[in-house]
Amino acid sequence: MEYKFSEKIANLKPSAIREIFKSLTDPSIISFAAGNPSPESFPVEDLARFAAEIFANESTTALQYNITEGYTPLRQAIAERQKKRFGESMVREDDSVLVVSGGQQGIELACKTFCNEGDAIICENPSFIGSLNSFRSCGATPVGVPMEIDGISLTALEETLKNTPNAKLMYLIPTFHNPTGITMSLEKRLGVLELAKKYDLVIIEDNPYGELRFAGEDLPNLKALDTDGRVIYCSSFSKILSAGMRVGFVVANSTICSKMTVAKQGEDVHTNIFFQMLCHKFMTNCDLDAHIAKINALYRRKCNLMLECLDKYVPSDKVEFTRPEGGLFIWGIVKDTDDASNIVKLAIEKKVAVVPGTAFNCDTEAKSNAFRLNYSTPSDEQIVEGVKRLGEVFKSL
């Protein structure tokens, strides 16, 4: 039979990242294209020990249906952690914690909870492709606002807000932004909140990398600055414990959380309860700060290595790179062009993979003069050799 798919799904294109991944089956290609945490960040022995304990002592709870909101002790541990790490105002009196199946689900549920089909979501441009596609698959349209080196352009944001009456949400990654690695300045964080108030929008603050700061000083999260219950804070354990387990969380006003809970019930009833219990055991029995400090030492070293190699091997008159203080990504901006797609193709020919900037555009037809590099997945040797190859690409232009 001929299928008549919904408009939102029929129009969705497979992600360019996935297409690149297909080319990565060639083992001679060095990939800077992934967004994976380093396997060294997984505390395997601790998780194995806690798993054995759960099977021995709490197997029925761990294998039976549970409530949609999440495992209560984990929700409490998350609230405590957020307050300890990012300040008391991260979780206000009328806030709740909702456990979700990876940070991505929190973002998707927020969209479902606030957007009718055809509504718009204001995003940084570029932005995380997973979230953009998630919005599209809900029938909402991402509308991009250009970024500057200290985050979203406030002038362009206000202009866009004026011209987008059907905007229901802003979606922002203020800290160690994916794909650019940029962190939004305090001034802009305050400006964004002011504009959200003026135009009466709710903000999704996506902060999967917030714990991964390896340089500079913390800036307050939008959630911590917000006094109106306007910010839906989404984060996860993917970058600090395990990405494959799919455990994330939302901190938001209780009214929002209860609506998102009903939406979540219709998607997967609840998140894998065994791994919720594992997360709780790790948080309460291990030194999470020490564990994260180890990850950050690793990523600091890898990021610095990649930046040193980029300085050494890639001609600075042809491309400039962001210098992240945390997270997983460096953004390369090619000078004197509006289209860097040839770079990505030439790089694959030289056996090094990067993600084209077009993958992260809100407007899927638009060009991009940039590309994304990841330093958490490749080995040190691969970083050196891969950047050398990238340098050859630019020297050959």
Segment 333 to 392, residues that bind a copy of itself, using CB under 8 A: none
- Within residues 23-62, the interface with a copy of itself by CB under 8 A covers 35-37, 39, 42, 44, 47-48, 51-52, 55-56, 59-62
C-beta separation of 219 from 190 below 8 A = no
Range list of H helices, the chain = 7-10, 16-23, 44-57, 59-63, 72-86, 103-114, 129-137, 154-163, 186-198, 222-225, 254-268, 273-285, 288-313, 341-349, 380-395
Give me the least distance between CB of 143 and a copy of itself, in Å please. Answer: 17
Nearer to a copy of itself, 37 or 179 (CB): 37
User: Which two structure tokens, joined as six digits, stand for 32?
Assistant: 């800077």
C-beta separation of 96 from 218 below 8 A = no
Exactly one of 82, 96, 101, 207 binds a copy of itself (CB under 8 A); that residue is 101
Give me the least distance between CB of 334 and a copy of itself, in Å please. Answer: 28
Exactly one of 19, 26, 94, 117 binds a copy of itself (CB under 8 A); that residue is 117
Nearer to a copy of itself, 62 or 219 (CB): 62
Nearer to a copy of itself, 87 or 130 (CB): 130
SS (H, E, C) 278-312: HHHHHHHHCCHHHHHHHHHHHHHHHHHHHHHHHHH
- Within residues 170-229, the interface with a copy of itself by CB under 8 A covers 200, 202, 228-229
Give me the least distance between CB of 141 and a copy of itself, in Å please. Answer: 14
57-66, long-range: CB within 8 Å, 24+ apart, which pairs?
Answer: 58/277, 61/273, 61/277, 62/273, 62/274, 62/277, 63/273, 63/274, 64/273, 65/269, 65/270, 66/270, 66/273, 66/276
> Does the footprint of a copy of itself cover residue 286 (CB under 8 A)?
no
Residue 345 burial by Cβ neighbours in a 10 Å radius (0-12, 13-18, 19+): exposed
Give me the least distance between CB of 200 and a copy of itself, in Å please. Answer: 7
Tell me the angle at which helices 44-57 and 273-285 cross, rounded to the nearest 10 degrees: 120
162: three-class secondary structure by DSSP: helix
Exactly one of 121, 243, 283, 373 binds a copy of itself (CB under 8 A); that residue is 243
Name the nearest CA neighbour of 23 among 383, 389, 348, 342: 348
Nearer to a copy of itself, 44 or 215 (CB): 44
Give me the least distance between CB of 255 and a copy of itself, in Å please. Answer: 6
Exactly one of 31, 82, 96, 105 binds a copy of itself (CB under 8 A); that residue is 105
Burial state string for 93-114 with b = 16 or more CB within 10 A and e = fewer than 16: eebbbbbbbbbbbbbbbbbbbb
Stretch that binds a copy of itself, among 182-190, 272-280, 302-310, 381-389 (CB under 8 A): 272-280
Nearer to a copy of itself, 215 or 269 (CB): 269
Give me the least distance between CB of 201 and a copy of itself, in Å please. Answer: 9
Write the CB contacts of 26 (distance below 8 Å, at least 6 apart in sequence).
351
Nearer to a copy of itself, 113 or 164 (CB): 113
- Within residues 152-171, the interface with a copy of itself by CB under 8 A covers 168
Exactly one of 81, 112, 189, 223 binds a copy of itself (CB under 8 A); that residue is 112
Nearer to a copy of itself, 66 or 358 (CB): 66
Count of residues near a copy of itself by CB under 8 A: 81
> Does the footprint of a copy of itself cover residue 263 (CB under 8 A)?
yes
